[in-house]
Amino acid sequence: MIDSHTGGMPTRVILDGGPDLGTGPLAERAMRLATDYEPFYKSVLLEPRGQPGMVGALLVAPSDPACAAGVIYFDADAVLGMCGHGTIGLGVTLAHLGRIDIGTHRIETPAGEVAIDLKDANTVQVTNVESRLVHHAVTVEPEGYGPVTGDVAYGGNWFFIVDPSPIPVTPENIRPLTDMAIAIRAACLARQLGGETGQPVDHVIFQRSSPNSGVHSRNFVLCPDDEYDRSPCGTGSSARLACLAASGCLSAGEEIIQESVIGSAYRLSYQPGPGGGIVPRLTGQAHIMAETTLVFAENDPFRMGIMR
């Protein structure tokens, strides 16, 4: 396994030793991972072997051999459709292993094919799946808070985006931001708010302006495992770009800088998509942290991880 972090957000790429998910479309193999191998993916990410926030990236054979890799992302609580920070980490990991060179490569994910452009050993530009605004200005009533209005948008995962955030997006506020985002996600689930065919909202974003000059905005992103994204969240930034495009606040090709709550940054832009949405581009940096082999001894009472 190779561990990297993208703007502080860890990715654990599993090169071998994972379950055999068979062949066929990655969305079907991802479903198999979610339903049949939950103990596996939890044990890889939960403490003591993993760390809070860590995302796993299980390398699988792509169904299209022209792709450099197939990958299924997951956090400690859910299998993900796509993961932007994970794809930047994957690009840097594949380069570290000597499996890809500088240049453009296609990667298969459960959400569809994405492209990575490896610029140097640490910098990757991701061209994500087509993203779109699904519902504009919907009001939900999270328990313990007043009504909150936001947009539902898709960027490879499903997002409820609140802009401006009712709480300042600063590292000191990570706890209250997390609590409110959990309540908002529950309110979205309670009224079955999500994608066009019933996909549930699995992430919540709070947007605010940044105190740093030249930065368009700063976000806080809640992930399915109730952890916050240390990076600006690639799929969340994609969903947000779709909202900015739909409201006419950002033109195709215009580049902005999006910061995370801890101040790590992506450069973002988009082009119009063939399906009426947008095709997002995000550029960020990842760094290799460790090359590890995990051991799961039979007599280890915590070999399945510390359950929460």
Q: Which of 108, 23, 130, 102 is nearest to 57 (CA)?
A: 108
Q: Which of 157, 152, 150 is nearest to 235 (CA)?
A: 157
**Least distance from C-beta 55 to ligand PYC, angstroms?**
5
Do the beta carbons of residue 209 and residue 218 sit within 8 Å?
A: yes
Tell me how many residues contact ligand PYC (CB under 6 A): 12
**Least distance from C-beta 85 to ligand PYC, angstroms?**
4
Between 235 and 264, name the residue whose CB sits nearer to ligand PYC. Answer: 235
Between 37 and 73, name the residue whose CB sits nearer to ligand PYC. Answer: 73
In the residue annotation, 233 being an active-site residue is answered as yes
Q: Quote the tokens at residue 26.
A: 């990655």
Distance from C-alpha of 143 to C-alpha of 274, rounded to nearest angstrom: 39
- Among the listed ranges 56-64, 95-103, 144-152, 229-237, the one in contact with ligand PYC (CB under 6 A) is 229-237
**Least distance from C-beta 241 to ligand PYC, angstroms?**
12
Does position 229 interact with ligand PYC (CB under 6 A)? The reply is yes
In the residue annotation, 83 being an active-site residue is answered as yes
Helical residues (DSSP H) of the chain, grouped into ranges? 26-36, 38-45, 84-96, 174-190, 234-246
What is the torsion angle, in degrees rounded to the nearest 10, for the CA atoms of residue 65, residue 68, residue 70 and residue 76? 170
Q: Active site residue: 67, 83, 223, 243, which one? A: 83
- Among the listed ranges 27-35, 64-72, 83-91, 185-193, the one in contact with ligand PYC (CB under 6 A) is 83-91
Q: Which of 71, 73, 94, 68 is nearest to 83 (CA)?
A: 73
Between 55 and 177, name the residue whose CB sits nearer to ligand PYC. Answer: 55
Among 125, 127, 217, 235, binds ligand PYC (CB under 6 A): 235
- First CA to last CA distance, the chain: 24
Does position 84 interact with ligand PYC (CB under 6 A)? The reply is yes
Does position 107 interact with ligand PYC (CB under 6 A)? The reply is no
CA 89 to chain centre: 11
149-188 binders of ligand PYC (CB under 6 A)? 157
> Which residues of the shown chain bind ligand PYC in the complex (CB under 6 A)?
55, 80, 83-85, 157, 223, 229, 231, 233-235
